[in-house]
A = this chain, B = another copy of it.
């Protein structure tokens, strides 16, 4: 049960299962089946059973999965049964929206710093955060031991920002800039990209 053994593609599906379970739980549901979960996430019941069984026997034949139990297990596997500090780089509209985003609650994440290089923004507040100068970012992130960052800067500077984050010891970057970034081995990048999500739906439209 370590990163070498479990394929990345399986790990990538676990947060999707967790989110679906969280929604079921919010609706007051206590148990679910791989069939039902599959319908929520668009993945076959067989695949879900196979994915989850990589980590142990969490369900019972006939009665299915306990939602709180499976959520706990998935949180433990994904290491979000603790709180991760996250820095935001880029205090534009998207950076503001993320700094105020309510959806991190109970998901394992907490925004702790917001950076920008625009003198007209530095020192200003976003809610409880004071926008800090990007020139001090490497030192600030390193001394606070922040390992995760969300990048909401223009595409043209995304790579330079990513390089600085890597230098500061960041190991996971969520990139909103519409461009790819290169990072060394051991650093993880995910992209949030509305066009890709929209393209998942057009196939079904006329």
Contact = CB atoms under 8 A, between A and B. Distances in A.
A44 interface: yes
Contacts of A180: 23, 26
A192 B195 contact: no
Nearest to A15: B199
Interface string A23-36: 10010000000000
A164 interface: no
A174 interface: yes
A204 B203 CA distance: 33
Interface in A161-178: 171-172, 174, 178
A198 B84 contact: yes
| Chain multiplicity (copies) | 2
Contacts of A188: 201, 204-205
A172 B205 contact: yes
Interface stretch (A58-66, A73-81, A114-122, A133-141): A73-81
Nearest to A86: B198
Interface string A178-206: 10100000001011111111111111110
A111 to B, nearest CB: 10
A67 interface: no
11 contacts: A7-B44, A12-B200, A18-B196, A23-B180, A80-B199, A97-B152, A103-B178, A107-B195, A148-B198, A174-B197, A192-B197
Interface of A: 3, 7-9, 11-12, 14-16, 18-19, 23, 26, 42-44, 47, 77-80, 84, 86, 92-94, 96-98, 100-104, 107-109, 147-148, 150, 152, 155, 171-172, 174, 178, 180, 188, 190-205
| 4 tightest Cβ-Cβ pairs between the two chains A and B | A103-B178, A107-B195, A15-B199, A172-B201
Given A109-B194, A188-B201, 15 more contacts: A9-B47, A12-B42, A78-B199, A79-B202, A93-B94, A93-B96, A98-B194, A102-B178, A108-B199, A148-B198, A171-B201, A172-B201, A174-B194, A188-B205, A190-B197
